[in-house]
Amino acid sequence: MIGECSLSYAIEADGSVYPCDFYVIDRYRLGNIADDSFAEIDRKRQEIGFVEKSREKDPGCLSCRYFPICRGGCRRYRESFLTGSMERNHFCASYRMFFDECLPQLIQMAEKERSFRESKLQ
pLDDT digits (tens, 9 = 90+) for 47-59: 999 999 999 999 9
Q: Judge if 51 and 67 occupy the same domain.
A: no
Mean pLDDT, the chain, integer:
93
pLDDT of residue 1 exceeding 70: no
11 shares its domain with 67: no
Q: Estimate the share of the chain in helix, then strand, then coil, as percent rounded to the nearest 5.
A: 50, 5, 40
Q: Are residues 2 and 44 in the same domain?
A: yes
Q: Which letter, b or e, does each residue of 64-89 get, where b requires 16 or more Cβ atoms within 10 Å of its Cβ?
A: beeeeebbbbbbeebbeeeeeebbbb
- The pLDDT-based confidence of 76 (bands split at 50, 70, 90) is very high
Count of domains for the chain: 2
Are residues 51 and 79 both part of a single domain? no
Q: Average pLDDT in the 56-77 region? A: 93
Residues 75 and 100 in one domain: yes
Is the domain of 63 the same as that of 119?
yes
Residues 26-33, mean pLDDT to the nearest whole number: 96
CB-based contact 2:71 (threshold 8 Å)? yes
Whether residue 120 is found in the same domain as residue 62: yes
pTM of the predicted model, to two decimals? 0.78
Q: Which residues span the domain enclosing 104?
A: 57-122
Task: Give yes or no: residues 67 and 115 share one domain.
Answer: yes
Query: Taking Cα atoms as reference points, which of 31, 40, 26 lies closest to residue 11?
Result: 31
Check whether residue 30 and residue 63 sit in a common domain. Answer: no
Give the number of other Cβ atoms within 10 Å of residue 31's Cβ.
20
**Cβ–Cβ contacts within 10 Å for residue 100, how many?**
10
Considering the domain architecture, whether residues 5 and 32 belong to the same structural domain is answered as yes
Q: Which residues are known to be catalytic? A: 21
Q: What are phi and psi of 73, to 5 degrees?
A: 80, -170
